[in-house]
Structure 1
Amino acid sequence: MRDLTEAVQLNDPLDALEPIPFFSCDVCASLGRQREEARKKGDMTVVSDCNVEIRRHPHGRRRSS
């Protein structure tokens, strides 16, 4: 039986698949470059923030008013 006092490691399913920026979009291209620079520096908070922004960027989708 497992010791219930051990820490459990959970994986975030979104970590496995990073969004691919649309490099024809200036906003996405900038976020993609910013994400890679942050990754080189080991700043995973900025990497995560960029991933969220890339996922949320509309790419021509119409927003509901």
Structure 2
Amino acid sequence: MSTPKTTMAGPVNLTLPEGDPNPVAGCRQCLGVAVTRANARSVGDYSKATDTNVVLRTHLREDHGAE
């Protein structure tokens, strides 16, 4: 019997994560999400900070036409 292969064939190439989306100046909703993100980070809640990035990206795409 042959021994099953337990390693991958080659290296895994990962990219750096995207940076934080920037709020649009003058938009109250953008500002609110950015403040929530800053507050989450200040108490070490990085899961919530990541969630707010998703919310902000969705808002930017839907309300500001960002891609």
Superposed pair shares fold, TM > 0.5? yes
Identity rate, percent: 33
**Larger Cα-atom Rg:** 2
Provide TM-score, normalisation by structure 2. 0.64
1:21 counterpart = 2:23? yes
SS in 2 for 1:21: coil
Q: CA RMSD in A?
A: 2.1
In structure 2, stretches of 5+ residues that fail to align are 1-6
Q: Deviations over 1:9-62 (max 9, x none)?
A: x66522xx110011411111100000000000000011001100110102344x
In structure 1, stretches of 5+ residues that fail to align are none
Provide TM-score, normalisation by structure 1. 0.65
2: CA distance, partners of 1:34 / 1:60:
19
- How many residues get paired? 52
Partner of 1:43: 45
The structure 1 segments of at least 4 consecutive aligned residues displaced by more than 6 Å after TM superposition are none
